Amino acid sequence: MKKPVIIAVGGGSASGKTTVVEKIIDRFHQKNVTVIRHDDYYKNQSDMPMKERRKVNYDHPFSLDNDLMYEQILKLIKGESVVKPTYDFENHTRSETTQTVYPTDILILEGILIMEDKRIRDLSDIKLYVTADDDLRFIRRLKRDLEERGRTMKSVIQQYLSTVKPMHFAFVKPTKRYADVIIPNDKDHEVAVDLIVTKINSIINN
């Protein structure tokens, strides 16, 4: 099996990365695409009391196990399957459930800090940065965390002001300079997706 086309999709929290990923997937056969979310590589915190878990800065690079992610990406490149962790956002630690991931032609890596680690950047053939208005991102994040992650409005606002916003400007936004394509997600991005799909096909065919 030849090396998969690796696409890194970064950008701020709730900028619309998943929407862009889904649009790319729609252009290919599902069996040919694997998506690995950086969020699943948050470090295990089962040995910490819940009160301490809530204090962790999840928007800092140190909160992520990039060593494990990098190791598993290398295995997928070699044609080996991996057992990937998953994350429990309600309990702020790794879930007991794991996921077996098999090699495919296209590997999409998605997360706010996915381009912060040089090792992962260097493995990526295409690097995308999805951007959206800060107010829109906050509204999307608030809605998502209330509906999908069992959070309270107070906790979402507190986390956004204390860590999410400052870490965005300190670590996330600076990774934009590494992107091959910047996609504004508060506008229609069909043209950008078309260009990306064309590039993916070009790499696969060559």
pTM of the model: 0.91
- pLDDT above 90: residue 125: yes
What is the pLDDT confidence band of residue 185, given thresholds at 50, 70 and 90?
A: confident
Residue 98 lies in a domain: yes
What digits encode the pLDDT tens for the residues 72-116?
Answer: 999 999 999 999 999 998 898 999 999 999 999 999 999 999 999
Average pLDDT value over all residues in the chain: 93
Q: Which of 54-63, 152-161, 182-191 has the lowest mean pLDDT?
A: 182-191
Residue 149 lies in a domain: yes
The closest alpha carbon to 115, from 105, 128, 134, belongs to: 128
What digits encode the pLDDT tens for the residues 45-83?
Answer: 999 999 899 889 999 999 999 999 999 999 999 999 999
Helix (H) or strand (E) holding 102: none
Count the domains in the chain: 1
Residue 206 lies in a domain: no
Measure the CA–CA gap between 72 and 83, rounded to whole angstroms: 8
Measure the CA–CA gap between 172 and 114, rounded to whole angstroms: 9
The closest alpha carbon to 23, from 201, 193, 204, belongs to: 193
Residue 196 lies in a domain: no
* pLDDT given at position 1: 65
Cβ contacts of residue 200 below 8 Å, gap of 6+?
5, 7, 24, 28, 106, 126
Mean pLDDT of 148-155: 88
Instruction: Count Cβ atoms below 10 Å from residue 39 Cβ, excluding itself.
Output: 15
Domain that holds residue 9: 5-186
- pLDDT above 70: residue 143: yes
* pLDDT given at position 188: 67
Residue 49 lies in a domain: yes
- pLDDT above 80: residue 138: yes
Percent of the chain surpassing pLDDT 90: 81
* pLDDT given at position 186: 67
Cβ contacts of residue 21 below 8 Å, gap of 6+?
9, 35, 108, 110
Residue 174 lies in a domain: yes
> Residue 50: which CATH number?
3.40.50.300
